[in-house]
Amino acid sequence: MTATHAGQTHTHSAKRHWAEGLTVFAAIMLMIAGVLDILRGIMAVAEDDLFVNTPNYIFEFDLTSWGWIHLALGAAAVIVSIGLFQASTWARVAGMVIGGLIIIGNFLSMPYYPVWSIVMIAFSGFIIWALSVVREEDFDESFTTPPRSR
């Protein structure tokens, strides 16, 4: 018969709660960032006069092109955030990739809408951080399975 220490169970349970909390935080933030990116894409596609026009910008695209880029990134972010609510490993990896792409897209379109771009870069930084600090072994099985008590 083996003895189980109460401290080990408590530590394991606390790690699991932190892992679940950070993953849910990242999923919600990615959902918000995706919806905001979708709205930004719709604004750019529908009305080009909402954005600042900067001449001689190296990464100059038509604002409709930027709109479609942000619309696609936003849609992908929303889909991946739904996968994060199920604690899928593919969603964690895809969430970090989408977060990185959102950062790159917002950095490149910063002259068109600077404050919005900085806010989205900060959102995506928090998403990448939350998804990268959680380890797979911090989860028992999934969010739906209650922690095992001994």
Please report whether residue 38 resides in a domain: yes
Please report whether residue 122 resides in a domain: yes
At position 24, the amino acid (one-letter code) is V
Whether 150 shows a pLDDT value over 50: the answer reads no
To the nearest 10 degrees (0 to 180), the angle between helices 89-108 and 114-133 is 160
Please choose, from the candidates 14, 11, 35, 26, the residue with its C-alpha nearest in 3D space to the C-alpha of residue 87.
Answer: 26
Please report whether residue 4 resides in a domain: no
Condensed to tens digits (0 to 9), the pLDDT of residues 50-98 reads: 555 556 666 666 778 778 888 999 999 999 999 988 878 889 899 999 9
At position 36, the amino acid (one-letter code) is L
Number of domains comprising the chain: 1
Site of tokens 């959680």? 134
Buried b (16+ CB within 10 A) or exposed e, 94-120: bbbebbebbbebbebbbbbbeebbeeb
Q: What's the domain range around 42? A: 19-139
Structure letter (DSSP) for residue 146: P
Average pLDDT taken over every residue of the chain: 77
Phi, psi dihedrals of residue 60, rounded to the nearest 5°: -75, 120
Whether 22 shows a pLDDT value over 70: the answer reads yes
Please report whether residue 80 resides in a domain: yes
Please report whether residue 2 resides in a domain: no
